[in-house]
Structure 1
Amino acid sequence: MKIEDWFHGLRGKAEKIEEKWPQATEQERLVMADQLFYLRQVSDRVVDLWLQFEEKLSQTIRQVKQMEGQVPDTEDQSDSAASAIHTLKKEMKKDEEKNDAPLDMKEQPLDFEHLFRRGEGFYHLRMFTDAKACFAELVAAAPDWETGRLYYAYSLLFCEEREFALREFRFLCKVASSPTIVAISYNAVGCMLAEEQQWLEAAQAFKVALETKPDQEDARFNLALCYYMDKDAQESVEEISKYLQEHEHDWEAQMLWLRAAHQLQGMDEAAELEPPGLLQLPTRELESETLKEMADLYEAVGNYHRAQICYRFLTERLPKEGWTWHGLAWNTWLIAGTRRAATLMKKAISLAPDQTDFLFSYGWMCLFDGEIDNSMNAFRKVLEKDSSNRLAQSGMIAAYEKSGEIQAAKQLAKTFLEDEVPFLHALGCFHLGRLSMIEENWILAEQYFSRAAPFGDQLREIPIYLQLCASKQGKTIAVDELLKT
């Protein structure tokens, strides 16, 4: 049977009940009332199943596009506040299960129930303009119907009438009697503020939502996201850890914890982090996005073995994605050297020949293994594709240095001094300082390293080189004093 025929049959049953009702006996009306109740259950179930299908379809499309390289990477997706903001559906569903009716509907006049049901149907089918019209009529006729007003506010929001939507949400925050309605409204206000990157104000709204209804799950997730976006890493980790206690399989929450932990680690290397639940060790059960975030965090703290495990799982799941093999190769190289990693890196390059970062990584691995010619060939291939690639140029300088071609290295390094980007200018000074050391020009080397010193956290050899230069000149100046010059 076609789905159109099935719906036509259901509609026909409703029409027959409508026709027979005026002349029906009391007993017949009881039977027809049971039939109407059954049809209502069918309708609610269809909407629920459609929503589940829509969510799965959207997720599958997103995953396929990601595998085909048609969407931005996970960092870009997660850092968009709008992409991570949870919606009304979870809380509404939860309250319907508790009360057998949506929130305050039991107390409302039956005369307007048809308007609510119709508007609710339009809303869940994402026909927001029609939903707005129904709920506008409902609010005008029954202004105290809080759930109807909440749906009206959301319909306004999704119709891009943000100012009116915000007004409705704020009104419900002040006057609604239902804690659930108040909490959902504050959560919605917070979401709207977050979309405007007003992180402090948004966080305050989410806090009030949680104070009103402590089990408002979406508000806790959104609060953790606000903290993360506002660089309050410790608070973000604490809030998302609480959320994961109840939702350990939520991959978005897993990713947020990992990113907040990574952010906290960057602020305080001594910070002690205890991963919650499934994040304690990488497993095949985790989503691809979560595994990638775990790998990034492990690399940041120097745990290359666990990062390697993450990428091993990713290569099994996404064998045609070059970035998974590149991550596996890079961490394998850090653990076991070029001989074990070279084949893996070549696999990554073969899958993504236009990805210059993979070529650079291969060249860098060869350079540290003493294969100067292979490293130069790799760097040259990168520069053929992008002649201004500073990463490849930096690799060439290091290769020239190792092969004894000091003048060629100096000539290329001096081009960095013309760069307007402060770090790249400092990198040029760093290279020239090393080359001056080879020539035993300790005074010039010290001058170059001093100019690069503001980036000592990224060029970590600088304090050692400054100390060596001072020693060669017979100085006893402390390193911290050298860095201030």
Structure 2
Amino acid sequence: MKIEDWFQTLRRKAEIIEEKWSDASEQERHQMADQLFHLRQVSDTVVDLWLQFEERLSNAIRTIKQLEGHLSEQQKEKPEMKAKASADAVTKAKVSLQKQEAVKDETEAAHSELNGYAPMFRKGEGFYHLRMYQDAKKCFAELVSESPDWEVGRLYYGFSLLFCEEPETAYREFRLLSKSASSPSVVAFSYNAMGCILAEEEQWLEAAQAFKASVEIKEDQFEAKYNLALCFLMDGYAQEALDEIEAYLVKNEHDWEAQMLWLRAAQLLQSMDESAELIPPASLRLPTRDLDSDTLQEMASLYESVGNYHRAQVCYHFLTERLPKEGWTWHGLAWNTWLIAGTRRALTLVKKAICLSPNNDDFTFSYGWMLLFDGKLEEAVRAFRSMLEKDRENRLGQSGMISAYEKMGELQEAKRIAKQFTVDEEPYVRSLGYFHLGRLAVIEENWRLAEQYFQRTLPHSNQFREIPIYLQLCAIKLGEQGEEESSSQLLQP
């Protein structure tokens, strides 16, 4: 049978039910409701399969266009936006749980409890799975009023309320079930649903308590384990998030959303405590080609933050294979290659990144920075000035020129530019200006002034890892000066 004929048959079945409904008896309507429910299941399956096919087809077309160089700049998704989209997906994917699944798991048990309410239950269930939630709510409200102790009926009622955008009323139903239901599954599902409602309101602490209760009641409630880890992360408890998501990954090691959550929690912990020892789960211990691109990008970022440049380099190597037309993959590979092996091996890679994204200032700056530290001052200055010709206030280009003037011994010119940073509206830029001025004061051996400048960078000290070393150096030098002054005072008559 052709696919067009098959769909025509399905459409005809729906039309016949619609035509006969008004004149049908109650029993016939129940039968037709079952048929509609079956057609809805078929429709959902077809839609799911079509979405999978459409996604695969779009990816294939996009990849081929990239390989052939036919994708315009406007069509290319910037890596920052991709990272942000990934972050949003991690935040929302499992907090907004598949609430229908919780109900389906209990359906069989429900039939044994129905007794005389079977027709009303089937009607409500049909409406629910047809996504006619207002009608489902009315049916289950009637059932609950007739049989208030019927747990699964009340669970359906709670989810119907939730889909009708009545979270407060739904929350009350789930809270009642969490306190009174005899079925551990119903209690666990209720706590999980309560956690979802609270999380959508960003009440992370209360949501975490609900998810924790769900897991304690039903250990295999993996969605609640994931959600608990997510709440810890959103509330800033990095270590707790890592503990929970690692337990989740034991049973779900290939869940890319969970892998991303672990990486984000690890980055947060690293930013809070640089001495923290991080041992990734088995699925993240070594970068492999099988990992999702977003996961590889997150892994590379994590490895860079802890100074493991070799593994970051491997991540970017896999990304360049998968996304050869994306400049950011080559830039990441170039930067980590430079940190490992120096300018000669990295320069070709960063040039490729610039060719793919000629307007990306980060790439041009990296090119100039590599040349600067290789002693090629004239070429480095040309790179930085090319950025300033397009935008004289470009902070990256100015920062490069500060370092170039420092190398050339033109400290007054370097200080002139750095002082412009200290009046910028952006706090990080102001800190960068004080950092530059502190380094210039160190060159001039003005230790007290250097210490004052470095102190002003402390709100962003995690961005400047050298700050503790510089402050320690300043303290040593000032201490030595203090001792010299004391000795000279003792020698005076």
TM-score by length of 1: 0.81
Pairing 1:104–2:97 present: no
Pairing 1:231–2:236 present: yes
* Residue 127 (structure 2) aligns with: 119
The answer to whether the 8 Å contact 1:88/1:184 transfers is no
- List per-residue Cα deviations over 1:390-415 (Å, max 9, x = no partner): 23321110011112333321211121
The answer to whether the 8 Å contact 2:271/2:462 transfers is no
Task: Summarize the Cα distance change of 1:382–1:117 in structure 2 as closer, same or farther, 3 Å threshold.
Answer: same
* Residue 74 (structure 1) aligns with: 83
In structure 2, distance between residues paired with 1:329 and 1:299: 13
Structure 2 counterparts to residues 444-463 of structure 1, below 5 A? 444-445=449-450, 447-449=452-454, 451-452=456-457, 458-462=463-467
The answer to whether the 8 Å contact 1:224/1:237 transfers is yes
Task: Summarize the Cα distance change of 1:119–1:428 in structure 2 as closer, same or farther, 3 Å threshold.
Answer: same
Amino acid at match of 2:217: T
- List per-residue Cα deviations over 1:52-106 (Å, max 9, x = no partner): 437637966997799634993334542573344251358438826xxxx444233
* Residue 287 (structure 2) aligns with: 282
* Residue 483 (structure 1) aligns with: none
Q: 1:291 aligns with which of 296, 300, 313?
A: 296
Task: Summarize the Cα distance change of 1:192–1:355 in structure 2 as closer, same or farther, 3 Å threshold.
Answer: farther
Structure 2 counterparts to residues 1-150 of structure 1, below 5 A? 1=2, 2=4, 3-8=6-11, 10=13, 43=39, 46=42, 49-50=45-46, 52-53=48-49, 56=52, 68-69=77-78, 72-75=81-84, 77-78=86-87, 81-88=91-98, 91-92=101-102, 95=105, 101-108=107-114, 109-123=117-131, 130-143=132-145, 144=147, 145-150=150-155
The answer to whether the 8 Å contact 1:312/1:328 transfers is yes
Distance apart, 1:462 and its partner CA? 4.5
Percent identity (aligned):
53
Structure 2 counterparts to residues 116-195 of structure 1, below 5 A? 116-123=124-131, 130-143=132-145, 144=147, 145-195=150-200
The answer to whether the 8 Å contact 1:179/1:213 transfers is yes
The answer to whether the 8 Å contact 2:229/2:244 transfers is yes
The answer to whether the 8 Å contact 2:158/2:174 transfers is yes
Amino acid at match of 1:118: G
Structure 2 counterparts to residues 79-478 of structure 1, below 5 A? 81-88=91-98, 91-92=101-102, 95=105, 101-108=107-114, 109-123=117-131, 130-143=132-145, 144=147, 145-439=150-444, 444-445=449-450, 447-449=452-454, 451-452=456-457, 458-462=463-467, 464-465=469-470, 475=480
Give 3-state SS (helix, strand or coil) of 2:437's partner: helix
Task: Summarize the Cα distance change of 1:136–1:477 in structure 2 as closer, same or farther, 3 Å threshold.
Answer: farther
In structure 2, distance between residues paired with 1:474 and 1:117: 79
Extract unaligned runs of 5+ from structure 2.
Answer: 63-73, 484-493
The answer to whether the 8 Å contact 1:183/1:208 transfers is yes
- List per-residue Cα deviations over 1:348-402 (Å, max 9, x = no partner): 2222233222222222222212222232232233334444332332111001111
In structure 1, distance between residues paired with 2:174 and 2:136: 18
In structure 2, distance between residues paired with 1:231 and 1:466: 28
The answer to whether the 8 Å contact 2:158/2:171 transfers is yes
Comparing 7-16 and 244-253, the one that deviates more? 7-16
Distance apart, 1:44 and its partner CA? 7.4
The answer to whether the 8 Å contact 1:115/1:135 transfers is no
Task: Summarize the Cα distance change of 1:278–1:457 in structure 2 as closer, same or farther, 3 Å threshold.
Answer: closer
* Residue 30 (structure 1) aligns with: none
The answer to whether the 8 Å contact 1:135/1:149 transfers is no
Task: Summarize the Cα distance change of 1:162–1:355 in structure 2 as closer, same or farther, 3 Å threshold.
Answer: farther
Give 3-state SS (helix, strand or coil) of 2:480's partner: coil
Aligned-residue CA RMSD (Å): 3.8
Count of residues in Structure 1 that have an aligned counterpart in Structure 2: 456
* Residue 27 (structure 1) aligns with: none
In structure 2, distance between residues paired with 1:290 and 1:198: 27
TM-score by length of 2: 0.79
Task: Summarize the Cα distance change of 1:62–1:417 in structure 2 as closer, same or farther, 3 Å threshold.
Answer: farther
Give 3-state SS (helix, strand or coil) of 2:375's partner: coil
The answer to whether the 8 Å contact 1:173/1:185 transfers is yes
The answer to whether the 8 Å contact 2:435/2:454 transfers is yes
The answer to whether the 8 Å contact 1:78/1:84 transfers is no
- List per-residue Cα deviations over 1:83-139 (Å, max 9, x = no partner): 44251358438826xxxx44423322322243134223223xxxxxx2222232232
* Residue 489 (structure 2) aligns with: none
The answer to whether the 8 Å contact 2:232/2:240 transfers is yes
Amino acid at match of 1:139: A
